[in-house]
Structure 1
Amino acid sequence: MSPELLTLKKELMKKPRPKLHKFQLNETERHFIQWVKTETQKKNVNNVTRTKAYLDYYRSFPEIHWAFLGHMVSRNGGWNMTDLKGSLLSRILSAKEQKEFFTFLERGNWLIFQDVYPQLLLYAESVKRKTNLFYLLPFFHVSYFMSVIWNYFYRYKDKYLLTVALIVNEQSYLENRVIQNPYFQSTVLEKLQFKLQELLDLNQVLFPYRDGDEIKIIGQTIQQFASLHERILLGKRLYHLLYEPDLYRKIYEWANDQPHTGSRKDLWPHIFQDVDGSVPGSPYQKRIIDCRIRKNTPKLYSPILKNAWKDMEQEEAEKGDWYSDWKVIHYLIKDNFKGDGDIYHEYCKTLEKIEFSILAKEAILPKKR
């Protein structure tokens, strides 16, 4: 184990210090805590507001690599949400199932933001005041693990370590609150449709970039979304891909040039449109071949988020610290990831496989009547 990780191990093995009580804070600290909570709530309205907040933050603090990674992954979360109302999945899932899937995705998206954004604001204020304010993290119910990590980062500025630690933290934070939540277990994770999603490789994270006049993509697929270990490893692979020296600048420029709406039209306007051009009630017509729209067929409908889903009121996040074992720092060891992120053909095949599923379903259903 490296000297850096040994230092973290030593800190993580200490018992968390008793939480400060509000009466121990001065007026400035109390006002700041309330301001952070208000700012977080204002930006945690829906996927579009969260995704924008991450990118806005990254522009001001580019040393916080997770903010840009969070922005790009959150874009994918928005696309997954609107897919449920688009041309393809809306023909496979019932309205009830669409709502259950959206509730699952939205809860996870909301939870991550309300946990991580106060951390980002504390760092910003620490930089502004030139003083370490991370002793305030417990007031936002942030894990002891991240208190140790942020204090270490404030001293040594290890960008890789902070980014991977945040990946570990956010996925661990979701584990009991979403993945192991009995409601989501019964409505989403154990349902045939979720297994079908994995079968069809719909758990893909895409990073677009412009190459001349063409938009290209790189990314990764996760086959076992319910596995905490696999989600953390996916996050590390995505981080590696996003900061590939030859591609980072192109992805960042695309993100700055293309505001996030939730529609996959943002990603591939040659295949997707945010207006539904199909005739209501008509049978599905195969449209995709080699990632192109067949001649004389409409583009796939991919609505913008505000037209697909109303903003949801969320219940307060469940309390509790996921951290219990210092061995989690083994995730912070650098991996020699050698994948190139080539996902273009895989994503094209995914669209075609979903089309075949729709055609098969529509061919079978009339026989059942």
Structure 2
Amino acid sequence: MGWSWHANPALWPLARELAKAKEARQAANSLATTEQDTIAEIRRKTAASNADNLDRTSAYLTFFHKHPEVHWSLLAHLVSRNAGWSMTDLRGELLPQLLPAKVQHDYFAFLERGNWLIFQDAYPQLLLYEESLKRQTNLFHLLPELEVSVFMQAVWNHFWKTGDSKLLSIGLIVNEQHYLQTHMMGDEAYQTTVVKTLPFALQEVLRLNLILFPYRAAGQEDGALRLAGEPVFHFASLAERIELGKRLYSLLFCDNEIKEGAIAWASHKPHTGSRKDFWPHLFHDLRETAPGKPYQKKLASCQLLPGARRLYSPALRQAWKPVRHEPPTAVDWYPATKGVVHKLVLSRDQSTFSRAEDAYCQAPEKIERAVLAKAKLLGS
């Protein structure tokens, strides 16, 4: 970015917290019995809420309602809804006609593992903050026992002193993407089966992948949902994923209408994984087209053609069975990473799509055209 965090006095306290956190971690003593009990209970609660995408997504929103000062938990809830929609797309009406069964499974495994990993790392942090509030004392010295990076120990200590919700949110964005990079994105198996594959590349080229925030505009509770969102480009790039997270945070928390509308919608619409949750005029969680029937064009300008049936978009638990995950190796990404503190600032030119309906319309229509082209090619 061409500048150093040393030139930004607002980040100096956090830099001091990082130095202290590293020293404290090196001098850590054995835990008292009450602290061991706290760690065990946090691990139990995390495991109970990390069974699948639906449980994780619900847990984030429940936490946000109790602690709205932790902005990241609302952002995590909405992004996790998008992960669920991407999972069920793989078993919906269109993508199975383009992707072989193995590719569908590989993509699901990729999405599910990432969703699981982030929750496994972040949710214990949220629970430890909650426990700190209950006891009215800072318990973040216990983060090493939960295998959380020293980076977040410093960020939480800073938040405890200042209440800076924005910096905490960006810190969590930076941490979770580095965590994902360390434990999954660098894995050669995922690189081979997903990240380097043609379908993954096409998603970015065709702009099929959008993170959506459904919301109702003030005074339009009975009207159609609006969609705010951001396109996903170069997901394999750590730097790009961090910038995407910042843009999403800015979109959600710098526009009060979107934030309040998204909270209201999410609070009254339980997450099922089906895209019927936000666009029931196009999607249904029951298959309305007879199986085995050749696909017929259904879509035009985000509407169904006359007489067309809605696209099948199953609920998550209809589409996929629960997955049992192996825990990752305990590795702290922070000591080996340079220049992280300067990332804890929002860029001045964060671009956002406050109205993403038209952009999202292109995705199912492009996939539909690909399905029809494939059918024509095979039939010729």
TM-score range, shorter chain: over 0.9
Q: Which residue type is aligned with residue 317 of structure 2?
A: K
Q: Which residue type is aligned with residue 365 of structure 1?
A: L
> Does the C-alpha gap of structure 1 residues 13 and 193 become closer, same or farther in structure 2, counting only changes over 3 Å?
same
Normalising by structure 2, what TM-score? 0.93
Q: Give 1:326 deviation, angstroms.
A: 5.0
Residue of structure 2 equivalent to 1:66: 72
Say which of 178, 181, 185 aligns to 2:187. 181
Which deviations, in whole Å up to 9, do the C-alpha atoms of 1:249-270 show, x marking residues without a partner? 1111000010000000001001
Residue of structure 2 equivalent to 1:110: 116
State yes or no: 1:260 paired with 2:274: no
Q: Which residue type is aligned with residue 327 of structure 2?
A: E
Say which of 50, 57, 60 aligns to 1:51. 57
8 A contact 1:119–1:137 mirrored in 2? yes
Residue of structure 2 equivalent to 1:125: 131
Which ranges in structure 2 are unaligned for 5 or more consecutive residues? Answer: 1-6
Which deviations, in whole Å up to 9, do the C-alpha atoms of 1:217-245 show, x marking residues without a partner? 01000121101111111101101111112
> Does the C-alpha gap of structure 1 residues 26 and 349 become closer, same or farther in structure 2, counting only changes over 3 Å?
same
CA distance, structure 1, for counterparts of residue 118 and residue 179 of structure 2: 8
Which ranges in structure 1 are unaligned for 5 or more consecutive residues? Answer: none
Residue of structure 1 equivalent to 2:48: 42
CA distance, structure 2, for counterparts of residue 19 and residue 283 of structure 1: 67
8 A contact 1:36–1:121 mirrored in 2? yes
8 A contact 1:206–1:220 mirrored in 2? yes
Identity %: 47
8 A contact 2:230–2:352 mirrored in 1? no
Residue of structure 1 equivalent to 2:373: 360
> Which is further off, 342-351 or 164-173?
342-351
CA distance, structure 2, for counterparts of residue 61 and residue 19 of structure 1: 32
Say which of 16, 35, 53 aligns to 1:29. 35
Show the 5 A alignment for 1:4-23.
4-13=10-19, 15-16=22-23, 17-18=25-26, 20=28
> Which is further off, 206-215 or 323-332?
323-332
Q: Give 1:19 deviation, angstroms.
A: 6.4
Structure 1 outlier segments of 4+, above 6 Å: none
Q: Give 1:365 deviation, angstroms.
A: 2.2
CA RMSD of aligned residues (A): 1.4
8 A contact 2:247–2:351 mirrored in 1? no
Which deviations, in whole Å up to 9, do the C-alpha atoms of 1:279-330 show, x marking residues without a partner? 2122111111111111111101000000000000001122201113452111
Q: Give 1:366 deviation, angstroms.
A: 3.4
Q: Which residue type is aligned with residue 154 of structure 1?
A: W
Show the 5 A alignment for 1:84-95.
84-95=90-101
Residue of structure 2 equivalent to 1:171: 177
Paired residue secondary structure (2:289): coil
8 A contact 1:207–1:219 mirrored in 2? yes
Q: Give 1:355 deviation, angstroms.
A: 0.6
Say which of 326, 331, 342 aligns to 2:355. 342
Residue of structure 1 equivalent to 2:340: 328
CA distance, structure 1, for counterparts of residue 366 and residue 337 of structure 2: 42
